[in-house]
Amino acid sequence: MPTYVYRVKRFDGSLGESLEVVQSIRDAPLRRHPRTGEPVVRIPQVPMIGRSLTEHAGGDSSGCCLTCKA
């Protein structure tokens, strides 16, 4: 199952604590933090299907993509 990244959405609109949640792709996105009840938003991530970071970066993570900044 995929792992999704969420961030707490503060009352002033800024983003707070992040959390990773393993969910089925069929599950609705979370609206509240599972422990605190604070509102959360899902953060888009680059998919890494079937590869490790080392394979993705060709053994070197120096600027290969947006998630591997130089």
Q: What residue type is assigned to position 21 of the chain?
A: V
Instruction: Specify the residue for token string 């089925």.
Output: 24
DSSP conformation class of 56? H
> Cβ atoms within 10 A of the Cβ of 40, count?
24
Task: Give the Cα separation of 10 and 15 in Å (integer).
Answer: 6
Closest CA to 42 of 68, 58, 60, 18: 18
pLDDT for position 1: 80
pLDDT, tens digit, for every residue of 13-70?
A: 999 999 999 999 899 999 999 999 999 999 988 877 776 555 555 555 444 444 444 3
